[in-house]
Amino acid sequence: MNTQDLKALIRNVPNFPKPGIVYRDITTLLQSPQGFEAVIHTFVERYQQKNIQIDAVAGIESRGFIYASVCAYALHLPLILIRKKGKLPALTLSHDYELEYGENTLEMHTDALSKGAGILLMDDLLATGGTALAACKLIEKAQGHVVEIATMIELKFLRGRERLAPIPVFSQIVYEEE
């Protein structure tokens, strides 16, 4: 299944969450076992390569959990949850960041990773990169480092990849313009 086939499984919803935005709806792809498996296999083949040392997979709540869970399972690696504020019960690290409207906070348990660990950070979509950047900062605070950020979708015109540099980004379905 190539990128065009995968793109055909994404539903485009105009004017969500607000007028002028075309929302890329992944639920239709997830309902296709062939589509979802193709996406997972591409990730797994890439991160099984011996030249990319990964110690754990971190997923950003909540859609990032989908890809991170399956990849952690398939790669036999620990799964780390990066959650919204107030959801994690034990001692946490937190990082505040700006959104288009207002502020948000991500949290991770202080003991979620070991010092120096190389982390594969996963989410479903890369837009401006604000959330992914906050997750990277959180992983740095825990003395880990992000080896690569992997997303299923990338909205290239929002330049998240540039904002996240020098951390590499790998995405599978790229939208060049809105």
Which residues would be at the binding site for a copy of itself (CB under 8 A)?
11, 13, 16-17, 23, 25, 27, 30-33, 36-37, 40, 56, 61-63, 65-67, 69-70, 72-74, 76-81, 83, 86, 88-90, 109, 112
**Least Å from the CB of residue 136 to a copy of itself:** 19
Closer CB to a copy of itself, residue 63 or residue 161?
63
Closer CB to a copy of itself, residue 146 or residue 164?
146
Catalytic residue chosen out of the listed positions 100, 103, 176, 178: 100
97-115 exposure pattern, b = at least 16 Cβ within 10 A, e = fewer: beeeeeeeebbbbeebbee
Alpha-carbon distance 46 to 58, whole Å? 16
**Least Å from the CB of residue 170 to a copy of itself:** 19
Active-site residue flag, 63: yes
**Least Å from the CB of residue 67 to a copy of itself:** 8
Active-site residue flag, 178: no
Closer CB to a copy of itself, residue 81 or residue 147?
81
Q: What is the DSSP letter of 159?
A: -
Closer CB to a copy of itself, residue 39 or residue 164?
39
Catalytic residue chosen out of the listed positions 24, 61, 63, 154: 63
Residue 107, helix vs strand vs coil: strand
Residue partners of 139: CB distance under 8 A and separation at least 6: 58, 108, 113, 119, 121, 145, 146
Alpha-carbon distance 118 to 137, whole Å? 14
> What radius of gyration do the chain's Cα atoms show?
16
Distance, CA of 54 to chain centre: 15
**Least Å from the CB of residue 120 to a copy of itself:** 14
Residues that are catalytic: 63, 100
